[in-house]
Copies of this chain bind each other. A is one copy, B any other.
Amino acid sequence: MRKMIKHYPNGVPFQEQFTADHKSSFNTAPAHDNIIYGNRGMSLEQEINLSNKYYLESGIAVIHKKPIPIQIVDVCYPKRSAAVIKEAYFKQASTTDYNGVYRGHYIDFEAKETCNRSSFPLNNFHDHQIKHMKACEKQQGICFTIVKFVVRQEIYLMPSHLLFHYWDGREKGRKSIPYEQIKQESYLINYHINPRIPYLKGVDQLINKLKMP
């Protein structure tokens, strides 16, 4: 039997398991069940884009995903229609995926998903992304990573100092950040109706912590 899908006014399908009321049944589900938890119709990127749309339309923050950098080689201009790119290649991004402004602060972050349960692999990052975040922090920007443990269905706003600590020490052996460490030093972001991922609550806590002496 196909389940009927209800929709929010913004057209996003209503998914029971994402609402706060049903969250508990979720967290207690055993991990070895033969259920695929990830990608319930929406990727982390789509969820963040929707949240940013809400923040923008509500006048709360201006945060956008940057377009994918492309090297265009050949463009064709057909008569009476739009230009068509006929040959292009993906370029390595030199920065993170998201940036913007919130309450007078420059905001800069990456969003990453992992199917690992016990740690977050560092090979999700590139050296230039870490360099970029370090440079932004030097200019007093607020940098972090939104980490989604897909199997656990848990999303954390991980402060950059934790990432830098493990990244800078990765030559010594450890190639991932332990889940327990992330849980302890990051801000858990619970799914919400609108915005879907209210990650600016974590940013508020990060800002307050930075203000403290």
Q: Name A residues whose Cβ lies closer than 8 Å to a Cβ of B.
A: 56, 59, 61-62, 64, 66-70, 72, 82-91, 93-95, 99-106, 108, 132, 135-136, 138-141
Contacts and interface: CB of A to CB of B under 8 A. Distances in A.
Contact of A136 (B62, B67, B141): B62
Nearest to A87: B84
A95 to B, nearest CB: 6
Contact of A70 (B88, B95, B139, B140): B88
A139 B61 contact: yes
Contacts of A140: 101, 103-104
A97 to B, nearest CB: 11
Contacts of A99: 99-100
18 contacts: A59-B135, A62-B132, A62-B135, A62-B141, A64-B95, A67-B70, A67-B93, A70-B85, A70-B88, A86-B86, A88-B88, A99-B100, A101-B141, A103-B139, A104-B106, A104-B139, A105-B106, A106-B106
Contact of A89 (B85, B108, B135): B85
A139 B62 contact: yes
B68 A67 contact: yes
Contacts of A135: 56, 59, 62
Contacts of A94: 64
Q: Which of A59, A85, A105, A141 has the most CB of B within 10 A?
A: A85
Question: 10 closest A-B pairs (Cβ-Cβ)?
Answer: A104-B140, A101-B106, A85-B88, A67-B69, A101-B141, A101-B139, A106-B106, A67-B67, A62-B135, A62-B136
Given A69-B67, A101-B136, A139-B102, A87 B86 contact: yes
Contacts of A84: 87-89
Q: Which of A62, A66, A67 has the most CB of B within 10 A?
A: A62
